[in-house]
Structure 1
């Protein structure tokens, strides 16, 4: 049997909170007989900051997490920081373009707000109306300062058995539309970067929150298009605040950094996860 390879992939746009810690704790437990990778997903140039990266590493180790590969410890698939892996993402984009599976999109943010179909609150982008979609098979050349979308196979059903939530089913073109894979600022989307890195780092199971179920369906389409293997998936329940809203980095009082400063111990936090 091949070795289990899991990963945790925090984004240093703020301090890690209890929701991150609980999900990453699940990932660590599932990787206890294999390898856990920490990947620094720092592609948001405006919000990712060095001080958040340092705090991320410190606070996750404080809570008891340990990883065998990562930006601070190295490993066979380095670098483990996404901003240092841009050539890999561009290569994948160029492959999609050459196969007619991605195309340029000139729609502005204002255009998208006007033409977007209704979508779920937990979705990270609206269902695109195909305004810029070319004829089938059209090949687009790569150019700078352009947004690119992946052309989803309309009507294709994406199924997977989630390790926590059971059977999942999404329909391309209905549950989500053509999605961004590259932004005109020269950076890949979350969907493309995550897909490329999970394949390159030989991840066998992805553990993350249930708010990313549709992202999994999108990434499975990219995996198929690029000839990548599909890992197993395990989506955790989200941690909610006292008002029933999911935790976010704006919840400073529930960040690991603030709890740590307030004298809370890792044992107290981990005990709370089991209740």
Structure 2
């Protein structure tokens, strides 16, 4: 059975870019007669904006994106992340790191998605240092997967990313660990999300293999860009979705995904418009 999910971070209201991600995953789930869950990725409490989670759920409802079951909140799942991390540590697959960001920035190589950690603490924290962060040991072997839209993706995590963080120095669990544990817990079979997360996927596959979890199928769709050519995001102050008149922005999201809207689209309500989209061929040509 198909089980998909939409997993926003409550760092602000939804915008057109996040609406595209929600609509793409929702339609893919419904097209496969599957379940569509909503997960609130609020594990990073330092970035959470008060009231944003409720605002996100209200927007999804207004836009006709009704989820199945209860909303999962990562902030209520800390014990599960701690258990997975302890398992990796007991097996020697994760280790404490005492390196500061400044030290890493001064000497580490730059990779496609940031600095590549050189593995200085792999054999123990340096004298005089306190091991605060926890990193996973990566292997010098390529990780392969076939994205349903982007095709074959190959990444050697150890060479292109390095031993990445599972628990931060401030004690918060990292996104990579939380998302893998939660996908397994919810039985997620298909992940549909934006292209900006494509190169996170090999890290997640690597952790799935270490923890003995099943691997979902992935589809990474194109991103909505602003006038400056950057991804629309809360960080760059993308305008919030309009809740009083949702149809124009829902039409915009469907058009971005490749749907050729009917003339009467402007007169439809969101559930009717989404139901119409399900009668059309999938413009993403997903499997």
Q: TM-score, normalised by structure 2?
A: 0.82
Q: Which runs of 5+ in 1 are unaligned?
A: 72-79, 136-143
Residue in 2 aligned with 1:182? Answer: 167
SS in 2 for 1:37: strand
Equivalent residues of 2:20, 2:254 under 8 A apart: no
- 1:167-222 per-residue CA deviation (whole Å, 9 max, x = no partner) reads 11111222211100012333210000000000011000111111112211001111
Partners of 2:67 and 2:243 in 1: CA distance: 21
Partners of 1:272 and 1:179 in 2: CA distance: 37
Residue in 2 aligned with 1:130? Answer: 119
Residue in 1 aligned with 2:4? Answer: 6
Residue in 1 aligned with 2:93? Answer: 101
Matched, 1:15 2:13: yes
Matched, 1:204 2:202: no
Of stretches 247-256 and 107-116 in structure 1, the one that deviates more from structure 2 is: 247-256
Q: Which runs of 5+ in 2 are unaligned?
A: 125-129, 261-287
| Distance change (3 Å), C-alpha of 1:263 and 1:21 | closer
Of stretches 238-247 and 30-39 in structure 1, the one that deviates more from structure 2 is: 238-247
Equivalent residues of 1:7, 1:27 under 8 A apart: yes
- Trace 1:1-275 onto structure 2 (pairs within 5 A): 3-32=1-30, 33-71=33-71, 80-120=72-112, 123=113, 125-134=114-123, 146-154=132-140, 156-252=141-237, 254-256=239-241, 259-260=242-243, 265-273=248-256, 274=259
Partners of 1:220 and 1:60 in 2: CA distance: 29
| Distance change (3 Å), C-alpha of 1:269 and 1:178 | same
Partners of 1:92 and 1:203 in 2: CA distance: 17
Q: TM-score, normalised by structure 1?
A: 0.85
> Deviation of residue 164 (structure 1)?
0.9
| Distance change (3 Å), C-alpha of 1:267 and 1:185 | closer
> Deviation of residue 66 (structure 1)?
1.4
